[in-house]
Structure 1
Amino acid sequence: MTTAFPAEAIELRVDRIAQLFHSLDPFPFRERDLDQEAEEYIVSWARELAADQPINIVVHIPDSEAQTKAARELGEAFARYFAYRADFLQRDLNELFRVGRRSLAVGVTILIACLASAQVVSGYLVEFPFRRLVEESFLILGWVANWRPLEIFLYDWWPLVRRRDLYRRLSEAAVETKPYPNGQSQIPMAAPA
């Protein structure tokens, strides 16, 4: 029997829902971009939460804001924004792999040319120490030409995948609004479980 764990919560408080979104964005509310500070706050908290648990975003807003259309559409706006960011990161990942494949083709070509050049040059040079230096120089050049594709395929893609997956989790987060009385200056904020 499996036990259902409660969703972990990211809590934030605003005086107006509009504070969460970029003010210069001309699109309708549901299609607006999140404000950079709001996004950074949500993403930084989401990084701290367990990766195998669902995320719950709780937005504390004044009573007067709780009854607005924006409050009802907040979950959809968050889901759309974070899904867009996840898709954007997927495109970045695809571009990184495209660059990696091109770099690998160039690097392998240079490596083959360097290996062949090392063999040809070593046949013409009779002085052993100098011949060894030239051979090793060609080998080093060939492997250095493959440094970037190896870096891409071994290391560079991991952070993008982690961030993409985090944005996907955030796009699936349950968003809840909790009204507080107008004029209340402070509300206790719970840290994520």
Structure 2
Amino acid sequence: MSNTSLPSAGDPLPGNCELIEVRVSELKQLFNAIDPSPFRERDLDPNAEEFIVDWAKEASPSATFGLAVYLDRPAGLPNEPVELREAIHEFFRHRAQLSRHRLRELFRRGRTSLVIGLCALGVSSAAGNVVGEFFSNHIAGVLSEGLLIGGWVAMWRPMEIFLYDWWPIRGEAMLADRLSVMPVRISYKQDGSADAWRWDWPVA
């Protein structure tokens, strides 16, 4: 998709970066049309976000990113590459913050679940020892084993949280961090209406 003959503006794109390439007719296609926020705080369009994130997920965990936007109109305001970069960076910074908030909430629930699970395990273990005093060896063994299994079942949720659930959320936060600092460059179409920018983001 790259075309070095196109006029472009914005950040330099390092040659060793993982280049994410997007082609749009208008910059406002990148943003959520129903979001009433000021343009620099506006959410990305869900399809644009999914495209960028899915591309980034395919890259090496150590890769740095660059975003090349191929725009099917001539250049508009001189500051639109900067405005685009700041809007995209702000969006992914916010995504990273949300992921870390989810992670903190998950660990909080995990700690609560762990306390409940340990209490349930302790009670079931103690109850298993007590039943031996009131039932025959065979019945006591069955009841004791059932209570112990129930206690370990209560430990399932905290174990799931601390072993498996946290690391995908942490990965989302780290990926958003990397996307929140990537250079952004716009390549413009040479022909077309010179006034097209007046009906596009960030003016419109």
Please tell me the TM-score bracket, short chain as reference. Answer: 0.7 to 0.9
Residues 58-77 of structure 1 aligned to structure 2 (within 5 Å) = 58-67=68-77, 69-77=79-87
CA distance in 2 between partners of 1:59 and 1:66 (Å): 14
Give how far 1:181 is off: 2.5
SS in 2 for 1:64: coil
Q: Quick one: which of 19, 29, 32 aligns to 1:19?
A: 29
How far does residue 71 in structure 1 lie from its aligned partner after superposition?
3.5
Quote the Cα distance in structure 2 between the aligned partners of 1:104 and 1:5: 48
Instruction: Give the CA RMSD over aligned residues.
Output: 1.5
2:16 counterpart (3, 6, 9): 6
C-alpha contact 2:74 2:189 (8 A) present in aligned 1: no
Q: Which runs of 4+ in 1 moved over 4 A?
A: none
- CA deviation string 1:44-77 (max 9, x = no partner): 0000111212100111113434536443311111
Instruction: Name the structure 2 match of 1:172.
Output: 181
Per-residue Cα deviation, 1:108-149 (whole angstroms, up to 9, x for no partner): 011111111011111221x22211100101100110001000
Residue aligning to 1:163: 172
Question: After the TM superposition, which residues 15-94 of structure 1 pair with which residues of structure 2 at under 5 Å, given as runs?
Answer: 15-67=25-77, 69-94=79-104
Letter in 2 for 1:146: M
User: Residue 121 of structure 1 aligns with which residue?
Assistant: 131
Distance 1:122 1:104 in 2: 28
CA contact (8 A) 1:16 1:65 kept: no
TM-score (norm 1): 0.88
The answer as to whether partners of 1:58 and 1:175 remain within 8 angstroms in 2 is yes
Question: Which residue identity is paired with 2:140?
Answer: R
- Give the total of aligned pairs: 179
Structure 1: gaps spanning 5 or more residues: 184-193
SS at match of 1:58: strand
Superposed, 1:93-172 pairs within 5 Å as 93-125=103-135, 127-172=136-181
Once the two structures are superposed, what CA deviation does each residue of 1:70-118 show, in whole Å capped at 9, x if it has no partner? 4331111110000100100000000000000000011101111111101
Conserved? CA contact 1:111–1:145, under 8 Å: yes
8 Å CA contact 1:65, 1:71 repeated in 2: no
Counterpart in 2 of 1:189?
A: none
**Aligned equivalents of 1:133 and 1:95: distance in 2?**
38
Distance 2:171 2:128 in 1: 42
- What runs of 5+ residues in structure 2 fail to find an aligned partner? 1-13, 193-204
